[in-house]
Amino acid sequence: MEEAIRSVAGGDAKFIAGGHSLIPAMKLKLSRPSRLVDITGIDSLKGISEDKGEIVIGAATTHNSISKNELIRKALPFFSEGASMIGDLQVRNHGTIGGSIAHADPAADWPALLLAADARIVVQNVNGQREIKVSDFFVGLFETSLLPDEIIVAIRIPVPPKGTKTAYRKFFQPASRFAMVGCAVLRQANGKTNVAFTGVADHAFRDKEAEECISGKAINDKSIADTLKVAIQQVNIMSDHYASQEYRKHLAKVFLGRTLQAVS
């Protein structure tokens, strides 16, 4: 891994693993790296383990590996659920979690899931490692706080307390299977609830107003209705050829309701 990191220092090279985000961007001339550094053979970037009360997912771990992992299914079932919804079988077998979040597509699934789970992103360059709170990682359209010479090493997620329920629901874009709207919810047994969206704005985000409204309350028709009233307020909603702002906001509220019902 050190050799790979040195190879991108001071230049405009890009790491490539599955390539399902970078290659399309290159075809569209949105990314023009001087060279590609293949990291698929670096075993230290792969795998899923538990360490000191946290689940550690290597950045080069494929979506399919995550969806089928027993530790993930037990502790973070919405990760398994979300991973199984990504693209098609080929994408899931070759695409990686690290590549997905580094690309930071506003309609990608992982950002919302990681936000709801309070993850931390472990990155490294020639000067060493640092950790970035996922809430500080996604900062704009295809934009993260990752430095040009840094590689994502792993994602660390606190193991949720016993009794935690999770769910992920999304409205598929039919061709790409990206999320026109995706909603991830993690609800602890004490009622504390994390709500995150993807596909709604230029980057994934936690909906603090929705969280404050539903946390600590029983989930029922009234509490869900109250939460939907305050959700999706402090955000600039995207509009494109797939959905207008009004329709996307409507979808976000619908899928928030469905996701809350799933953890009730």
Which of these, 194, 187, 255, 185, lies nearest to 218 by C-alpha position? 187
Range name among 17-31, 130-144, 227-241, 245-259 with the lowest pLDDT average: 17-31
Could you tell me the two tokens for 249? Answer: 């906001």
pLDDT greater than 90 at residue 4: no
Average pLDDT over residues 142-155: 94
Distance CA 64, CA 51 (A): 22
Inform me whether the pLDDT recorded for 70 exceeds 90: yes
Residue 64 has pLDDT above 80, yes or no: yes
Q: Cα–chain-centroid distance for residue 129? A: 21
Q: Are 57 and 65 in contact (CB under 8 A)?
A: no
Cα–Cα nearest to 242, from 197, 169, 143, 176 = 176
Contact assessment for residue 117 and residue 110, using Cβ atoms and an 8 Å cutoff: no
Long-range contacts, stretch 29-36, CB < 8 angstroms, 24+ apart:
30/142, 35/11
| Chain region(s) in the chain for CATH 3.30.390.50 | 165-262
Question: What percentage of the chain carries pLDDT values higher than 70?
Answer: 99
For residue 160, what is the DSSP state?
Answer: P
Superfamily of domain 165-262: CO dehydrogenase flavoprotein, C-terminal domain (3.30.390.50)
Written as six digits, the tokens of 241 are 């050829």
Residue type, 219: I
- Other CB atoms within 10 A of residue 107 CB: 22
Is the separation of the CB atoms in 209 and 196 below 8 Å? no
Pairwise pLDDT comparison (37 vs 249), residue with the higher score: 249
Q: Which range among 8-22, 78-92, 148-162, 205-219 shows the weakest confidence by mean pLDDT?
A: 8-22
pLDDT at 8 over 80: no
Least confident of 40-49, 63-72, 76-85: 40-49
pLDDT of residue 19: 78
Structure tokens at 171: 């409205």
Binned at pLDDT 50, 70 and 90, residue 138 comes out as very high
What is d(CA 117, CA 20) in angstroms, rounded to the nearest whole number?
24
Q: What is the pLDDT of residue 10?
A: 66
Query: What average pLDDT does the segment 66-92 reach?
Result: 96
Weakest-pLDDT range from 17-21, 81-85, 148-152: 17-21
pLDDT of residue 39: 83
Which position has the higher pLDDT, 116 or 148? Answer: 116
Which of the given ranges, 14-28, 66-80, 172-186, has the highest pLDDT on average? 66-80
Express each pLDDT in 89-115 by its tens digit: 889 999 999 999 999 999 999 999 999
Which residue(s) pair with 205 in the sheet?
197
Task: Tell me the average pLDDT of the chain.
Answer: 93
Q: How confident is the model at residue 18 (pLDDT cuts 50, 70, 90)?
A: confident
Domain with CATH 3.30.465.10 in the chain: 2-158
Q: What are phi and psi of 62, to 5 degrees?
A: -75, 160
pLDDT of residue 27: 83
9: pLDDT strictly greater than 80: no
Which structure tokens are listed for 47? 């795998």
Q: Are 185 and 259 in contact (CB under 8 A)?
A: yes
Q: Of 101, 260, 242, 132, which is closest to residue 196 (Cα–Cα)?
A: 260
The CATH number that domain 2-158 falls under is 3.30.465.10
